[in-house]
């Protein structure tokens, strides 16, 4: 055996093996080689075969949301694609598997079809959390309401048949026109009178509309119990139709607002369309139940007995349906309470860090548990809490001006000359302090929210000032007292408004809309009144001749 030793440079000996590279630039000499003298000569190296292609990594590679479910796509060990459908909840994306092959099975396709037919796209992420219980109860309400409608139609048909002697098709058509025309006229009047409250009290008017429909249905069924004359028919048919059409108009307008509140991804059309498809099925079931009840008997006593059971059930279902529709909407009672709660908390003596740890605004659920707000959150539970008047009629607030009234108004105009709103404190007839908030034409929702917080602090601060003075008139009618109060309220609101709004958002409240009965009243004051163009001068006789 012979040894053939190659010389190695020191840097190659001491260099870690993992850093060596087979390059002549790094090591100019051949490495050590041991070879037997009797061993055959080494064969030249054969070109090695390329390594086999690496299989794609097995496992999940995509999640696709489709029709309210999550489709998990993954690679198998053989490189094949596997599909697994999973249900999606409003809070999480990955729930337990519904079916590994639901997308290809008959059940999976049928479930997908039902979702696309009756549920909004991307349900439940695209709607409010109370969408499902609300629409389940609405579905039941539609069945019961349709049963009542079937009874009414039967009563009217029997009434017309009893009074029909000979050919009176023309008279019946005229009666029907009068019936519908009276309902349209009543609907116009009601909308004109109460439409400003549909935004601020949607649940209340929804319940009122349902009660109106039931009242009209009761009048129409009464056509079976009275003599079949023209006057009696018009009294029952037209009078009943008045209440039913007014109730239908209320339901439609409030339903539009409900659809918007349910739609969380701008999918109002989709949510409304699916509500129609749900209503169609509930009406078909109601028709079936109504026809089945009519097959038992058609006597007036029987029809009224069924109506006596169905009408209360209808109202109770609607009341609970509106109860489960929990919208984080800032109505005037809710906003007033939250603003007062913040004004009281912001005045605590703790430091800012301690106050942030100890104080937060209540959420909708917490506010309902405290039972501080009245019916559906649209009314005040305590009369003294209703101290804020948004966009009232100016002449109603200053009905009988006095020197003290003018002093108060001048002080408010100077304090709010450059603001988009003006707060006017005044004494009500019951001796309590009220805050009237007037708004410029360019008012925004953010300004209204700020004015509510400003009014909460102002009302609280005026109460403290009044307690230290001789009487309320001394505080509101004296510029030396009122000017510092208004100035301090401006500084306090500027300092705390952003924190108040952030707390509302953190508690889940919707700060982009304030639900109050806005009749469109807007006011200009201070320097804005002097920049308006003068009214046109009346035309004289000479100018008319020219």
Average pLDDT over residues 156-163: 60
Query: CA–CA separation, 410 vs 415, rounded Å?
Result: 9
| Alpha-carbon separation of residue 231 from 59, 163, 241, 246, 384 (angstroms) | 78, 11, 15, 22, 49
Q: Which of 73-82, 411-420, 442-451 has the lowest mean pLDDT?
A: 73-82
pLDDT at 357 over 90: no
Q: What angle do CA 327, 282, 238 make, to 5 degrees?
A: 90
- Strands 510-515 and 329-331 turn out to be parallel
What would the two tokens of residue 195 be?
A: 């439409």
Dihedral (C-alpha) 139, 143, 148, 152: value to the nearest 10 degrees?
110
Q: How confident is the model at residue 21 (pLDDT cuts 50, 70, 90)?
A: very low
Residue 230, pLDDT above cutoff 90? no
Lookup result for tokens 């030249």 = 44
How many whole angstroms from its chain centre is CA 402?
44
Give mean pLDDT, residues 139-167. Answer: 71
Residues 329, 334, 336, 341: is their CA dihedral positive or negative?
negative
427, 434 contact by CB (below 8 A) = yes
Q: Which of 394, 398, 440 is nearest to 417 (CA)?
A: 440
SS (H, E, C) 462-499: HHHHHHCCCCHHHHHCCHHHHHHHHHHHHHHHHHHHHH
Q: Are strands 97-99 and 81-87 parallel, antiparallel or unpaired?
A: antiparallel
- H or E segment and range at residue 66: strand 59-66
**Of residues 68 and 110, which shows the higher confidence score?**
110
Closest CA to 492 of 504, 480, 481, 484: 484
Q: Phi and psi of 59, rounded to 5°?
A: 130, 180
State the pTM of this model. Answer: 0.68
- The segment(s) of the chain belonging to CATH 1.20.1250.20 are 130-327
The pLDDT tens digits of the residues spanning 294-310 come to 889 888 888 888 999 99
Q: What is the per-residue pLDDT for 474?
A: 55
Structure tokens at 366: 């917490």
Place of tokens 């929990």: 326
Q: What is the pLDDT of residues 476-485, one digit of tens each?
A: 667 787 888 8
Tens digit of each residue's pLDDT (9 = 90 or more) over 318-349: 999 998 988 999 999 999 999 999 998 875 65
Say whether 53 sits in a helix, a strand or coil.
Answer: coil
For the record, the structure tokens of 489 come out as 């309220």
CA 90, CA 71: separation in Å to the nearest integer?
16
pLDDT tens-digit series, residues 487-518: 999 999 999 999 999 999 999 999 988 988 88
Q: What is the pLDDT of residue 531?
A: 56
**pLDDT of the residue at 521:** 82
Average pLDDT in the chain: 75
> Residue 309 in 3-state DSSP?
helix
pLDDT digits (tens, 9 = 90+) for 518-529: 877 888 887 777
Q: Crossing angle, helix 239-262 and helix 202-221, to 10 degrees? A: 150
Partners of 86 in the β-ladder: 70, 97
State residue 314's pLDDT score: 92
Averaged pLDDT for residues 269-276: 88
Residue 331 CB-density burial (10 A; 0-12 exposed, 13-18 middle, 19+ buried): buried
Look at residue 452 and tell me whether its pLDDT is greater than 70.
yes
Within 8 A by CB and 6+ apart from 532, the residues are 524
From the number of C-beta atoms within 10 Å of its C-beta (0-12, 13-18, 19+), residue 134 rates as buried
151, 153, 156, 158: CA torsion to nearest 10: -70
DSSP symbols for 386-442: --EEES--HHHHTSS--HHHHHHHHHHHHHTTTSSEEEEEEE-TTS-EEEEEEE-TT
- CATH 1.20.1250.20 is the classification of domain 130-327: yes
């Amino acid at each position: 055996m012979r040894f053939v030793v190659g010389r190695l440079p020191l840097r190659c000996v001491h260099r870690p093996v993992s850093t060596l590279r087979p390059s002549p630039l790094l090591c100019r000499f051949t490495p050590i080689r041991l070879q037997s003298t009797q061993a055959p000569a080494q064969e030249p190296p054969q070109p090695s075969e390329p390594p086999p292609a690496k299989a794609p990594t097995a496992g999940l590679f995509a999640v696709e949301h489709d029709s309210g479910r999550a489709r998990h796509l993954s690679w198998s060990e053989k490189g094949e694609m596997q599909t697994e459908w999973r249900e999606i909840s409003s809070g999480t994306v990955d729930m337990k598997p519904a079916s590994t092959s639901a997308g290809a099975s008959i059940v999976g396709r049928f479930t997908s079809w039902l979702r696309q037919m009756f549920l909004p796209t991307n349900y439940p992420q695209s709607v409010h959390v109370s969408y499902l219980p609300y629409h389940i109860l609405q579905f039941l309400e539609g069945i019961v309401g349709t049963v009542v409608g079937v009874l009414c139609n039967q009563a009217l048909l029997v009434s017309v048949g009893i009074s029909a002697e000979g050919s009176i098709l023309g008279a019946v058509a005229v009666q029907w026109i009068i019936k519908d025309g009276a309902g349209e006229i009543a609907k116009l009047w009601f909308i004109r009178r109460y439409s400003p409250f549909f935004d601020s009290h949607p649940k209340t008017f929804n319940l009122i509309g349902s009660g109106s429909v039931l009242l009209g249905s009761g009048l129409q069924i009464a056509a079976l119990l009275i003599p079949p004359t023209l006057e009696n028919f018009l009294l029952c048919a037209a009078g009943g139709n008045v209440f039913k059409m007014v109730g239908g108009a209320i339901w439609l307008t409030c339903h539009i607002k409900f659809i918007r509140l349910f739609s969380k991804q701008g999918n109002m059309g989709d949510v409304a369309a699916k509500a129609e498809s749900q209503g169609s099925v509930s009406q078909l079931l109601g028709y079936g139940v109504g026809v089945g009840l009519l097959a038992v008997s058609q006597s007036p006593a029987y029809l009224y007995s069924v109506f006596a059971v169905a009408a209360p059930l209808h109202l109770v279902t609607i009341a609970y349906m509106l109860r489960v529709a929990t919208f984080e909407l800032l109505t005037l009672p809710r906003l007033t309470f939250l603003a007062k709660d913040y004004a009281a908390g912001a005045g605590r003596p703790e430091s800012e860090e301690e106050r942030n740890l100890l104080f937060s605004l209540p959420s909708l659920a917490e506010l309902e548990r405290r039972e501080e707000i009245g019916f559906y959150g649209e009314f005040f539970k305590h009369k003294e809490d209703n101290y804020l008047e948004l966009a009232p009629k100016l002449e109603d607030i200053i009905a009988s001006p006095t020197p003290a009234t003018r002093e108060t108004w001048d002080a408010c105009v100077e304090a709010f000359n450059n603001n988009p709103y003006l707060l006017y404190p005044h004494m009500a007839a019951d001796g309590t302090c009220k805050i009237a908030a007037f708004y410029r034409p360019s008012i925004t929702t953010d300004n209204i929210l700020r004015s509510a917080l400003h009014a909460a602090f102002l009302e609280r601060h005026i109460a403290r000032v009044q307690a230290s003075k001789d009487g309320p008139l001394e505080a509101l009618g004296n510029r030396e007292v009122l000017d510092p109060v208004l100035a301090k309220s401006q500084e306090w609101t500027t300092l705390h408004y952003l924190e108040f709004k952030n707390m509302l958002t953190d508690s889940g409240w919707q700060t982009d809309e304030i639900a109050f009965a806005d009749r469109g009243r807007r006011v200009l004051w201070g320097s804005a009144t002097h920049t308006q163009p003068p009214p046109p001068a009346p035309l004289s006789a000479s100018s008319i001749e020219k």
